[in-house]
Structure 1
């Protein structure tokens, strides 16, 4: 959590110094790369921390399509009567983003991602929390949210996003399925 707080404060402090007039907000026909730091606040009360990277192609109608990769981790998570330790989730996904039209330095967007998450953790029953077994599984990864981009220059944007994320979405309420509110802070390079 401290890394996220310091990164956010540093970004907000430095933003005015790098701000320049934005001549080109239309990146139609170009690729972008977006490294980010993500924080998932689970519905069970703990936090997952993750670096991520997306590569998208911008179309003329405001849409972007691409792929992404994330590495999310937390030391402990309680879910459906189990205690999970050393959780590591690696989602690989397709991403679609819509950029709302604007000539300003701040532009809003909506996005969704869908893919597969490769999950690994130690699991124990809450009644015997020190008797663990290693679990490796895959799950349906889902993200949907909104955000805002701030144009620092013609080739660099910073962004802040918020949405809902799940690493193993399922209709079975007894599945281990960490999900919750997700926050994202990063940069986009064109």
Structure 2
């Protein structure tokens, strides 16, 4: 566990979306608050604050986790990936993000960040998922707008594209972040 400073705060160092990061937090600070308020990574949303809705899902060392249930002091030395880390470069969407856009798989967008992070981690482990598997992954997130069908279609299309079976994206489809 990181050492306390004179103010009773912990300096926590980790990797955020492939870059070194550090933040000073109180022992009770949640990862959502450290990311959003300490580092300005506002793509991680705070929904229910009970780990039920999934809006706050981030990847910790490649495993999806609810940031609203994770103490920031516990991520010392970990690799954290948020929705901001899914794009291959600034101004360009990742395959999963572009598929969400093509399928209109988001409306208000509040749940989208957590869903994208969960699906990204799942597709890294299972590049050829079944519809049922994708449905189970998405079922761990509450979405009040889309009805889930376009999310599932987008995830299946992205999986095929990542395997080299899907259509190549035109540059204009990736032009907007």
What TM bracket, shorter-length normalisation? under 0.3
Higher helix share: 2
TM-score scaled by structure 2?
0.26
Structure (1 or 2) with the greater strand fraction: 1
Q: If the length of structure 1 is used for normalisation, what is the TM-score?
A: 0.25
**Which of the two has higher C-alpha Rg?**
1
